[in-house]
A and B are shown apart, each in its own frame.
Chain A
Amino acid sequence: MSANGSKLDLSHVYQVLERWKGKPGAEVSILEEVQHHYGWVPEEAARIVAAERRVTLSKLYGVATFYHGFFIKPKGKLIRACAGSACWARGQMEVNAEIKRILDIQDKGTTADGAFALEEMACLDACQLAPIIRINEKPYGHLKVEQVAEILEREREQPA
């Protein structure tokens, strides 16, 4: 079941599995492609992967919870906030705190309404724009704490 109760179309999982057929040990990449398509790793998809790749579901769960990039619950728009040392030097921590305060979430958390998820990353490769966040890959650079509320409000209204 997906977040809103409708049935998930799982055919994409089989496409991904087909592509990785015969390549040993590709479970991380498979889950990554599954997440890329669905936005998160649904349990039903993981069950199919486990059965087809002949690994246990618990092993996949172990993998999915080890890497910070995986979400095993539905997430909305992904906010990737930099947490690198260059951004730290230019006040990123205050920006990140403001995001967490407004959305009332922690790193790797999803908001109660499912609109946003937050991931703090070590480097977003744009130190010249520090402090920086990306919302669904759209960059917002030279951020000031006062701008955060407005940006989040605008992003909330725009469809993903």
Chain B
Amino acid sequence: MTYQELQARARKMVEDRVGGRVRVLVGCGSCGVAAGAEDVLHALQAEVGRLNLNVPVEPTGCNGMDFKEPLVAVHTPGKGYVLYGPLLVTGVSEFAQGVLAGGNLKHPLAIGRSDDSPAADIPKLSDLDFFRLQTRVTLLWCDLINPDRIEDYIAMGGYQAFFKSLEMQPEQIIAEIKTSTLAGRGGAYFPTGIKWEGGMKARAHPKYIICNSEEGEPSIFKDRRLLESTPHAVLEGMLICARTIGGDYGYQYIGEHPLASERWEHAVAEAHEWGLLGKNILGSGLTFDIEFRAGFGAYVSGESSAMQASIEGKRAEPRVKLARSTESGVFNKPTVVNNTETFAGVPWIIRHGGEWFASMGTGTKNRGPKLFSLAGDIWNDSLVEVTMDMSGHDLVYGVGGGIRSGRPLKIIQLGGPSGGYITGEQAATTPIDNDALIKLGGNLGSGGVVVLDDSRCIVDLARFFMEFMKLESCGKCVPCRIGLQLLHEILERLAFGEGRDGDIEQLHDLGEEVMGYSICMLGGGAPIPLLMYLRDFRDEFQAHIDGRCPANVCLMKREDLLERLFGRGTEARQEREMKAEEARRAVQQV
């Protein structure tokens, strides 16, 4: 089958289903669902039925505008679309009557229109700072297709890159990926081209391909969004990888993300139906299948060797890597492990060429668009795709919409508890790329961004991160298991106002040791932000030792803080309750 035939079939199916009619799409990523999008979807369907309108209402993925959820887009054939939000269930009836039945696209909830929409009195989406500053590639189709319909993806041009790759030699594909300088989006930024070349050159079979969607880090949600919005883009990337390295079998490893898992399994079933997975795919001689594997809430299983152990049915403990995964990975066979976002980027590189991809950004590891999930003390909680030469200031005040409290920016924490950060003073001149972050002593990480204003306490933040890492340590190697525990104890001591002289030095020395001697990057990365904090915010740590918290967060009475952190177990509270109980008994006896 040629691609034209496949696409014609898909287009006909889309045409039969929704063609020539006004169509309503409701953003149903897990972000939207949490905001009530499914209720809005059902309410809209009921309302459209009641008004007897010939308007299909369907779910779509998430366009990243979490702060306006639930999002509803009204598509008019040939006339683009208008985006509305937040549309709550209570407003559905009025919305359907005004916009859908009345045909009046102007509505108080209108956010913007697409470039090709003629509704001139609504601003263009592309003029809003949020979209203007973005370079959307992998997110491009997220809010235009129904994620549960493979034909929507193919009608847009999906799987074209896979067909193209079948006509290319594996060496050609690798050359293209190398030209693009696509670097691993899971946080290590290892060149994908070199990894694939290693996989191709390995001679043992079966060769495995693993898509890493564990994503257990605090405040990051890019991979699951891709799986929820365009699962087929990830699948296409894995197929191209299989074609390139001669892969035999794939694993999709998804963490505790129910909706992403559900949509992924549906996508794989669809791909089987369409002959895009299985034996001798489309007569090309390529045989490839993908198995779904559930991660179950262990952050460390995002580490590639730990993930391989998990796929083998073991505890997710990392191993000392004597050979690269491409030589000896899961089941001791050649294995290529890539992040979800990396796979989702591959079809675009094959479609538009490596040079197009490399033209965005600078350096060797910072090219191409990158997903960032923005959260914290910021107006626009969102998922955005920008080039990595954007400055931290633009990310926060441009795309992010600025700080909620209006206070000055303290830090932009990147990459979660083992990443790095840019301080408020550096933000204007520092790009959010690997080279800049490494120069500052950290690393970019996988794309979580937490923005904090100056009312936040660095010691409290360090304690919070260390607590997470301590709990997530798998316990295999001593530096991580005991070191993180000790670091956490010292930080907790500081928060209680019981710091001692020498604590700062001890944090520093211990941090460096944990970093140097741990087996994997969980222990190796955990002290990175702490060491940076100690360098840049040393006076805050010193203030805690001296018995004050500049931000007035820590150092409250010990039992109050314990209660804030753990909710119970404080002697003071138990004493209070015992007294109250005694008083009650006394009253009853009287």
Contacts and interface: CB of A to CB of B under 8 A. Distances in A.
B298 A132 contact: no
A132 B219 CA distance: 12
B534 interface: no
A144 interface: no
Specify which of B376, B450, B452 lies most central, judged by the most chain A CB atoms within 10 Å of its CB: B376
Interface string B216-243: 1111110011000000000000000000
Specify the main secondary structure of chain B where it touches its partner: mixed
Contacts of A124: 34
B296 A67 contact: yes
Given A121-B256, A122-B218, A85 B34 contact: no
Given A122-B218, A123-B217, A69 B256 contact: yes
Contact of B31 (A26, A94, A126, A134): A126
Nearest to A67: B296
Interface in A31-90: 31-32, 53, 55, 59, 62-63, 66-70, 83-89
A128 B401 CA distance: 13
Interface residues of B, number: 63
A115 interface: no
A7 interface: no
A128 B31 contact: yes
A121 to B, nearest CB: 7
Interface stretch (B50-58, B363-371, B559-567): B559-567
Given A85-B450, A85-B464, A122 B296 contact: no
Given A25-B312, A84-B219, A94-B564, A127 B375 contact: yes
Contact of A126 (B35, B258, B416, B450): B35
Nearest to B261: A32
Contacts of B33: 139
Specify which of B313, B381, B456, B565 lies most central, judged by the most chain A CB atoms within 10 Å of its CB: B313
B315 A63 contact: yes
Interface in A99-131: 99-101, 104, 106, 119, 121-130
A155 interface: no
Nearest to B216: A122
A152 interface: no
Contacts of B29: 125
Contacts of A106: 566
Given A67-B296, A86-B376, A93-B565, A128 B315 contact: no
Given A96-B567, A99-B567, A85 B298 contact: no
A97 interface: yes
Contact of B564 (A25, A66, A97, A128): A97
Interface in B6-51: 29-31, 33-35
Contacts of B373: 127
Given A85-B465, A93-B564, A62 B34 contact: no
A63 B311 CA distance: 12
B474 interface: yes
A150 interface: no
Contact of B298 (A67, A99, A137): A67
A17 to B, nearest CB: 13
25 contacts: A24-B312, A28-B294, A31-B296, A32-B296, A55-B313, A66-B315, A67-B296, A84-B219, A86-B381, A88-B461, A88-B464, A89-B375, A89-B377, A96-B567, A97-B565, A98-B567, A123-B216, A123-B221, A125-B34, A126-B34, A128-B69, A130-B381, A137-B258, A139-B33, A139-B35
The 8 A-B residue pairs whose C-beta atoms are closest, nearest first, are A100-B567, A86-B375, A69-B296, A27-B313, A69-B297, A127-B375, A97-B567, A128-B381
